[in-house]
Amino acid sequence: MLNKVLTTPVDTLIGELRERKIMSFKEIETKLKLPLSIIQRWVVILEEYKIVKTSYKGLEGFVEIIEKEDKNKGPEIEEIKLLFIEKCKEKGMTFDQMRSIWPSFLEEHYQAIKKEFETKASKKGFDKNKIAIAWNKFDKDLKRF
């Protein structure tokens, strides 16, 4: 199945947490159909990278996604790529097909992405020079699929 090629169980976990914001370890275990020990190891790593945080109520543990407030760089590259991948999956495309059409997708939407980036950075109070420097880095990362 195409979805299994493009996502890992960790991606599934993060996706579920983004949708639901908080889940118990039991819910995650049931959803992913994986042993609790594996899930706990993943959560420890995700906590180190400040992607999730854990809390406990009584004897039950919960995992919560950490919402990033600082989006001063504009649109997130991974969000753009994930949206692109989802649309391609809906059309039944393979990963190689997605990779081959990514450049034309970017070309078609490049100005809109750049404008959104500049608008968000400007609203955060960055001057034009800093925005231009940040755009150059963002642009390089955006072109990699």
Q: In this predicted model, what pLDDT tens digit does every residue of 114-142 receive, in sequence order? A: 988 888 888 888 888 999 998 998 888 88
Q: Is there a single domain that holds both residue 43 and residue 88?
A: no
State the Cα–Cα distance between residues 22 and 28, nearest whole angstrom: 10
pLDDT in tens, 30-41: 999 999 999 999
Tell me: do 24 and 61 sit in the same domain.
Answer: yes
Kindly state whether residue 28 falls inside one of the protein's structural domains.
Answer: yes
pLDDT of 11 reads 87
Mean of all residue pLDDT scores within the chain: 85
The reported pLDDT for the residue numbered 137 is 87
Which residue range forms the structural domain that includes residue 59? Answer: 2-65
Residue 93 has pLDDT above 80, yes or no: yes
In this structure, are 88 and 40 located in the same domain? Answer: no
Q: Is the pLDDT of residue 3 over 60?
A: no
User: How many domains is the chain built from?
Assistant: 2
Same domain flag for 33 and 59: yes
Asked whether residue 86 falls in the same domain as residue 50, the answer is no
Element (H, E) at 101: helix 95-123
Percent of the chain whose predicted confidence (pLDDT) is above 70: 90
Evaluate whether residue 55 is within a structural domain: yes
The DSSP string of 110-135 is HHHHHHHHHHHHHHTT--HHHHHHHH
Is there a single domain that holds both residue 52 and residue 107?
A: no
Shared domain for 49 and 81, answered yes or no, is no
The per-residue pLDDT for 112 is 87
**pTM for the complete prediction?**
0.45
Average pLDDT of the residues in 1-11: 65
Domain limit, last residue, from 39, 65, 91: 65
